[in-house]
Structures are given as C-alpha cells and as structure tokens.
Structure 1
Amino acid sequence: MAYRDDAGLNFLGTLSSEELNDLVNILIYDKGGDKRLTENLTFSDNYKKYKPNHKMYWKEIAEEIQLFGGNTIVNLLFRFNKGVEYKEILCDVCNKLKVNYSKYAPIDMIENCLLQKILYDALKNMTPDQIKELGVELGIDNFNNLNAQALIGVFQTIFQAGGFASYKLTLVIVNATMKALTGKGLQLATNATITKTMSILTGPIGWAITGIWTAIDIASPAYRVTIPAVIQVAYLRKLSQNRDAIKQLENLNL
C-alpha cells in the first residue's frame, strides 16, 4: 500500500528529521523499547536506505499512521490493513478519550479539543496552589481566583491566539503526556523557558493520562500507537504553525 494523500499529514514533509524523531519512535517501539510486532515502517525501502534521515521517508511515516489507524476504526472486516485518513483517526481517538468536539471542525481545532481535555483532566488533580503556579509560569494575569474550569477558558483563548504561548502550552501538555504514555518526554523539549512549567504539569497530567488509559478497554493494540501518535502529530502541527514566533523568542533569549 502507498501513502494516501492526506491534508492532515502532508505538513510532515516540511519537518526536519530531528522533529520527526519522536513520532518515528512511537511508531516503531513500544513503551519498553521493544520493536512493535505490527510495525511496517522499518521494512520499507526508503527507511532502510535513509534512516535516520526521517525527512527522506516522511510519506512512509505518514502511511504507517494511516495503517495503524485502519486497525482501530470499528469496521475491521473491511478496513484491516487499509490506511485511513488522519482526520478519521483523530476523531476515533477523541471518541475513545471522550473528548467534546465537532467532527466538522478543522483538524487543528479538533486537536486543540483533545489537548484541552487532557489539560482539564490534569487541572482537576491539581491543588489551588499548583493552578496558581501554573498561571504564573504561563504569564496569566489576575489568576488568583481562577478555578480549573475558568482556566480552561483562558487556555482555550491561548490556543486560538497562536504564537509562542500557544506552542508553549502545547509543548508542556504533550511532553507530560508522552512521559506517561511512552516513558519518555519530547527530545526537543529543552528550552529553559518551559522547563519549570513542564515540572508543574508532569505529575497531574501523568495521573490523568494513567486514569484515562486504565479506563479504556483497548480492544486493539493499535490504540497504543494511534493515541500517542495523534498527540505527537498535534504537537508537531503547532510547532509548524508557530515557527516565526518561536524563533523570535529564541533570538531574544540568546
């Protein structure tokens, strides 16, 4: 099977090999570091020829996501070993995690709903002092009397506004989520401006994700791939959309 042209995944072709590395690891290795029995990526000719120059075989990476997604959609009799488009996979993951979203919304908005659900579940596990500290680290004014529900509205505004604050919040959520799901944080998450914010959310998001993961009856092992892969793709899209703002801040910190 070849990669199906996919508006939700075509942006992967604009990313560097370093940026694609975490996604590739999710697709190939399980949480224990062993190769997944069901992965096909490492058998592709381009992978064998160019690894670890991931950008040279980004279509094979995208195809692998589509193939895993085809094994999680309900109608397996007709979809087994057939890839499905990313938006269908994203919506399937959102349904599995009980995310409130509209399937008619743009992909990035659905991804934001997914990230907000993870964050909201984490906020419910945080003390008022932790919520206040998080507000300080994110530069939110007048947060003293904000509860978890009110902060969700603030975070939604941050997501929609774009720029570095949007990217920073996404990075913090995804880094903590990846630690809970795969045992490793994001390799790119080294910027000193986000380190403390990450430490605040790592515990609460870990508890929230563990609770969600335990509650899910994962009928197909493919969900152990599609859930972290979709969350990783959401992060990479936010990274791609906010490059200019990220570069400007990094230049200021030089």
Structure 2
Amino acid sequence: MGVATDHDLTPLLNQCGDEDLQPLVDYILNASTNDLTTSPGYEARPGAPSTYVSEIVYEIKTFGGNTFANMFREDGVPYREVVTDVAERLKVQVSEDDTVEEMESGILTKVLEDMLEKMSPEERQRLDEEFAEAGRAVGDKGATVPLSILILQGGVRLSGFMAYRLAAIVANAVARAVLGRGLSVGANAALMRVLGMAAGPIGWVLTGLWTAIDIAGPAFRVTLPCVCHVAFLRQKQAYKVAL
C-alpha cells in the first residue's frame, strides 16, 4: 500500500480530529473491499483516524480512480480528479478553472436541488422558515432570499457562513442515509430541525443515485459520501463558529 499525499486533501484532514475523520473511515469500511483494515496505522489504532490520515487519503484517491488508472498509479488519482468525477456523474457543470472548493460547492448545491425537488411546497416553506430562524439564532444576516429559491434559481455558488451551514445539512443527511447515524455537530434547535427535515429527502436522492445504472458502481458509493464530508470539513475549518 502506498503512502498518499494530496495538496487539496492531506493538509485539510491533518487539521481534523478523530471525531470529524471517523465518517470517512466508515464510508471506506462500508465498501466490499478496501486496504484500510490491513494498513499499519489502522491496525495500530483503528479508533484514532488522525494517526493514519495518509492511509485514509490513499483509500479515497484509490476509490476515485478507475481500475485501469490504478494499475499504473500506486497512489490512485489526485483528489481533484475524485471531485471532478463525482461532479460529472451528478451532472454538475465544472471547468478546468474551478477550484476544488468550487466543485465541492457545486456538488452540495446539486444534492440540495434534488432534495428540494423531492419536497412538497409546504415542506419547502417550513424548511425556509427553520433555516432562516437558524441563521438569526447565531446572528447570521446572510441572504434574505428564501433557501429554496436561492438553491433552485440555479448557478449559485455557496460561500461564507451559508456554505458552512448547508455543507453540514448535506453531510449530516448523507451520513444518516449511508451509515444509519448523523454527524455530531453542535447546532441550535432550529438548525437541528432543518437537519432532521433534510435527512429523509436526501436519503431518497441517494437511493435514486445508487439505483441509476450508469453511476451505481461500488466506488461511487464511497467517493460521493467522502466528497460531501470533505466539503463539510473544509467549511468547518474555514468557519470555526457554532452552528
């Protein structure tokens, strides 16, 4: 097994604690095959992911490459290629000029768009109200446009504290859908209600993705959750404030 580094991924994960990294480990272990369980770092301290970040990065990059590419790349593909692949499979428009963070934003926005399409008008209205209340509770003046309109108008690039909260919503819902449990995030009561409201519709979105013939491969079941979680961790590091 190689020791992986990646300028987009390794420095970020090296700043994270065990609790934040554990979902990535669990997504990898969910796969039918992986090299993580036989890696020295995991075998030594399986419950301390911060001690084997390089092995986690290696696994994500390996799952992100196709079989042919991995035959010739000991460390898999660059993390940027992992994110690009996930974006393209979700039909998110990306360009060579986009940063990894911008592509992650596009992926989160796409998941949120699909979530909103699964909700009734009444559910969207309630979501808008709770999300606005969650922002007011922490003094976030943010956008005054309702969340559903902001996301569904298309072409939006999430930024600032708004990006932080929306990344938490998506990452939490993906964790509940894939792992059967949400993330341990500090959140006010209104945002906790939003997290609960989003979990069901995003779970339905993922079910549709898993059953789609063209993107139902086992690697995508790892890379999509991992990219969503990494996007959340990136925002969490950028905006270290209470949710």
Q: Which runs of 5+ in 2 are unaligned?
A: 133-142
The corresponding residue for 2:66 is: 71
The corresponding residue for 2:137 is: none
Q: Distance in 1 between matches of 2:23 and 2:116?
A: 26
CA contact (8 A) 1:19 1:236 kept: yes
CA contact (8 A) 1:99 1:117 kept: yes
CA contact (8 A) 2:167 2:228 kept: no
CA contact (8 A) 1:41 1:60 kept: yes
Q: Distance in 2 between matches of 1:219 and 1:132?
A: 32
Q: Distance in 1 between matches of 2:32 and 2:210?
A: 21
The corresponding residue for 1:234 is: 231
**How many Å apart are 1:242 and its aligned residue?**
1.1
The one-letter code matched in structure 1 to 2:226 is A
**Bigger Cα displacement from structure 2, 100-109 vs 113-122:** 100-109
The corresponding residue for 2:13 is: 12
**Alignment of 1:56 onto 2:72:** no
Write out aligned runs for 1:90-239 (5 A). Answer: 90-139=83-132, 141=144, 143=146, 148=148, 150-153=150-153, 156=156, 159-160=158-159, 162-163=160-161, 165-186=162-183, 188-189=184-185, 191-193=187-189, 194-218=191-215, 220-239=217-236
The one-letter code matched in structure 1 to 2:199 is T
The one-letter code matched in structure 2 to 1:233 is V
Q: Per-residue CA shift, 1:30-78, capped at 9, x if unaligned? A: 2xxxxx4421112111222223121111111111111211236xx4475
Q: Per-residue CA shift, 1:75-129, capped at 9, x if unaligned? A: 4475476511111011111111211222420111100000100100111122222
Q: 1:79 to 1:214 in 2, by over 3 A?
A: farther
**Bigger Cα displacement from structure 2, 7-16 vs 218-227:** 218-227
The one-letter code matched in structure 1 to 2:187 is N
Q: Which runs of 5+ in 1 are unaligned?
A: 31-35, 250-254
Q: 1:152 to 1:51 in 2, by over 3 A?
A: same
Give the number of equivalent residue pairs. 231
CA contact (8 A) 1:4 1:85 kept: no
Q: Distance in 1 between matches of 2:198 and 2:216?
A: 29
Overall identity of the aligned pairs, in %: 34
CA contact (8 A) 2:174 2:202 kept: yes
Q: Per-residue CA shift, 1:103-158, capped at 9, x if unaligned? A: 42011110000010010011112222222211112216464xx8x5544459946x
Q: Distance in 2 between matches of 1:219 and 1:168?
A: 28
